[in-house]
Structures are given as structure tokens and as C-alpha cells.
Amino acid sequence: MTVVASRPLRRLSTSGPLRVGVLVSATGANLRTLIDLQTAEPDAFQVSLVASHGTRSKALAVAADHGVEAWPGDFDARCGLVSQARTEADHAAYRSRARQWHDELDRRIARWELEEGPLDLIVLAYHRWIEGELLTRYRGRMINQHPGDLSVLDPSGARVLTGNDPVARAIELGHASTRTSCFLVDETYDGGAVLCQGPAVPLPPEPDPWAHELSQKQLSDRPCLEWTVRAFAAGSLELTGATHPDGSPAVGVDGVPMPLGGMKLT
């Protein structure tokens, strides 16, 4: 049997606040959570940089309002929309353009870090697929919030609630509640190591998916992200070297192995 050593998930800087970069797409709810952490504990947390794939994200205005450097993007103009790809060749060309765009973003961040100092953690509140140098350089230091319970598996061991509409899918399947999962981003499709899950949010008898997801942002997204960022800053997280039935790396918290789903908040 091959034994794989555990790997702590740690920040780069050894002193000062945890320096966080945020990739944004929409309203900025997760960005607000991080800024609130910074406001409450400025010696512990610092939102240092925000970047978007577009120009219309409300999160860019949130960053500007709080004095955080923010970069709009031109992803759709450069890469097009995945929904416009009809053939396998179209999809391959789109992925190549997307990778080039994110590689350029990675190089821009690297130049910025030479002047401003390294980022310890990248938080995604982001609606574009990331591959290439950006993912490679921040491996083990890039996390994503997903509005679905990634510990729910089908009989084959695959995650059920991946993709763009996990709340609607949970409703369709008759689940009693939903919850947010925070996971390490890797090359898989919502398949990375789950670090934490926010509290379960009960579904009403006749739920509206969008209204429920908005409620979930406050009741599950926010505590999930807060816990994960604090745990990362404290050096409490590690990949144990084991794997779960879905093939994802198992997580330990302060030396204690976690079940699939990581730390489950109540």
C-alpha cells in the first residue's frame, strides 16, 4: 500500500494580516464577508486585490467603495461564451482562449505581487472555469464557494450537486435542505477537497430556487467562508493523504481527519 504524506495548507507570509485576493463575477456577497472580516480584525485579514472577468460586476463597486484595488476584465470579448460553442472543436478553441486569458491574468498578478507583496489566498466568487498557470501557482491556496452539498454522492460515488444550479437540483431531488461547500480548486469539475460546509438551510414546502439561494448566501455561504478563511490563516488545515469515495483528497482540521464535506457547521 502506498502511503501519501499529509500536506498542510498554509499561507506564504509569516507575519501580518492574511492577504486575500478575490476573483469576482456578481453581487460581491462573498467579497463583503471578507471585507467585514478585515474591518473587524484589520491585523488579521486584508483584502488586497479584486479582479473580475467582466466590467459590470457589482463586486467591483464594492471593492472601490472600500479602497481595494479592483481590475475589470474583458473575458467575454476575448473568449466568447461557452454557450456559443457547438462542436468539440468549438469547445477546444474556447478552452484554449480561456486558458490564455487566465494565464495573462496570472502574469499580471505576479507583476503586482512583486510591487505589493504576495497574496496568501485566492477566493473565488467567480463564474468562469480556471485552468493553466493561475491554477498551478495558487494550488492549495485557491478556494471556491459552491451553493450545493458536495458530500452528496450517487451510487457510483460521483458528486450529485455540481454545476451551475445545485439548489434547483436539490429541490428537484426532494432534499429537505441545502448547504454551501467551500473547496480547494483543482482541475476537476467541482471535485476538489471540501474544507468546510455551512449550516444546512431548510427548504420550505414550495421553494423558489433563486429566493432560497439568496437566503443561503447569508445563512450558509457567509459562515462557511468565514470559518474557512480563519482556519487557513491559523494553519489548521491539511490534506491527510487519504481519499474519499468520490476520489477527492481527505481533509484534516487541527490534526483530526474529517469526513467527506470537511468541517460541517451547524
Q: Over 90: is that where the pLDDT of 202 sits?
A: yes
Structure confidence by residue, pLDDT tens digits, 230-256: 999 999 999 999 999 999 999 999 999
Domain 16-138 CATH (choose: 3.90.600.10, 3.90.25.10, 3.40.50.170, 3.50.30.30): 3.40.50.170
Q: Answer whether 144's CB lies under 8 Å from 195's CB.
A: no
Domain residue spans in the chain?
A: 16-138, 145-266
Q: Over 90: is that where the pLDDT of 174 sits?
A: yes
Q: Over 60: is that where the pLDDT of 2 sits?
A: no
How many CB atoms within 10 Å of residue 192? 21
Burial of 214 per CB tally in 10 Å (0-12, 13-18, 19+): middle
Structure confidence by residue, pLDDT tens digits, 29-71: 999 999 999 999 999 999 999 999 999 999 999 999 999 999 9
**1 band by pLDDT with thresholds 50, 70 and 90:** very low
Question: Which among 243, 251, 246 has a CA at the least distance from the CA of 157?
Answer: 246
209: enclosing H helix or E strand: helix 209-216
Report the pLDDT value the prediction gives residue 21, as an integer from 0 to 100: 98
% of the chain surpassing 90 pLDDT: 92
59: enclosing H helix or E strand: helix 58-65
Q: Which residue has the higher pLDDT, 193 or 13?
A: 193
- Fold match between 16-138 and 145-266? yes
Q: Over 80: is that where the pLDDT of 117 sits?
A: yes
Phi, then psi, of 233 in degrees rounded to 5: -60, -35
Q: Please determine, looking at this structure, whether the domain spanning 145-266 carries the CATH number 3.40.50.170.
A: yes
